[in-house]
Chain A
């Protein structure tokens, strides 16, 4: 196959992600609002209990909170790990097969006794891919 880069379309990326960036900027203020509803609720709950149970509740909440963060980090880590491993393995295989293809084409060219026969190499690779050989 031709030696062009595996992923192309650089400008297309910017075009696709620009609206997303715009949305981020527009939604940022909403993030601040999210945090506040939680605080009044917690305050109400605390007012209805004695100080001792409130302290125990707070400690339990803190532990739970920590656990939730742990869950979140593990989950994100898992996502990134999986994707990273997958992408790396794909690239490794791609590099290996490109190297092998180049080597084979070199040998073919040598065999044919001719240099740079674009047509022959293209037909050979395409014909091989199309033929279904068990």
Chain B
């Protein structure tokens, strides 16, 4: 059922997309790129918020949510950072530009990639979780500073994209679809993490009981 839902969502997004703009085919990338970027930010924001809750309340499920949000955020981040240059090459002629948006995206991605790396390979003890939480909580507001600094450095490049109504529909519907996918993935991942913790606790209990 879930697989059917996902495939339907993707098909729908693709059916919308064949409304070409002035950049012809490459413009279509934008419909996936922009929602992915927004949802990537949402994912990392969610991770930072959940991490803060975890630090304040010390409840395991907040940390599980933080981890799930970070993983999904990273997945969308990979999408953004691959579709971005591909779109940029067609739109601006260069693969990368030192713009506030791109730079903050890249730095944010790096911070949460480190978060994920440490959480994956550092084990699942409480200090590791706290370290990760600290990283997430310190990293997210940091981005504000990066953005301000890069804006002052490079100036804001407003992208004057004129959106025709049909393109707007395509964009917003793709956004909607991606939001659904995002929520779905976070919920899935969250459940998996919770179940893994339950299994670990159960296994500890069993070994204590001498099984």
Contacts and interface: CB of A to CB of B under 8 A. Distances in A.
Contacts, number: 187
- Most chain B CB within 10 A, of A23, A105, A110, is at A23
A71 B197 contact: no
Interface in A110-134: 110-111, 124-134
A20 B176 contact: yes
A1 to B, nearest CB: 6
A23 B173 contact: yes
Task: Label chain A's interface by main secondary structure.
Answer: helix
Contacts of B181: 83
B34 interface: no
- Most chain A CB within 10 A, of B79, B87, B198, B206, is at B198
Interface string B87-99: 1011000000000
Interface residues of B, number: 75
Given A97-B196, A127-B201, A71 B29 contact: yes
Nearest to B15: A24
A111 B203 CA distance: 13
Contacts of B22: 38
Contact of A75 (B83, B164, B170, B203): B83
B185 interface: yes
Interface string B161-172: 000111001100
Given A5-B1, A34-B164, A90-B185, A72 B25 contact: yes
A117 to B, nearest CB: 14
Contacts of B206: 104, 107-108, 111
B59 A94 contact: no
Nearest to A10: B1
Contact of B184 (A7, A98, A101): A7
A103 B188 CA distance: 21
A63 interface: no
B109 to A, nearest CB: 13
Interface stretch (B4-12, B45-53, B146-154): B4-12
A71 B87 contact: yes
B209 A129 contact: no
B56 interface: no
B202 A105 contact: yes
Interface of A: 1, 5-8, 10, 13, 16-17, 20-21, 23-24, 27, 30-31, 34-35, 38, 65, 67-69, 71-72, 74-76, 78-80, 82-83, 86-87, 90, 93-94, 97-98, 100-101, 104-105, 107-108, 110-111, 124-134
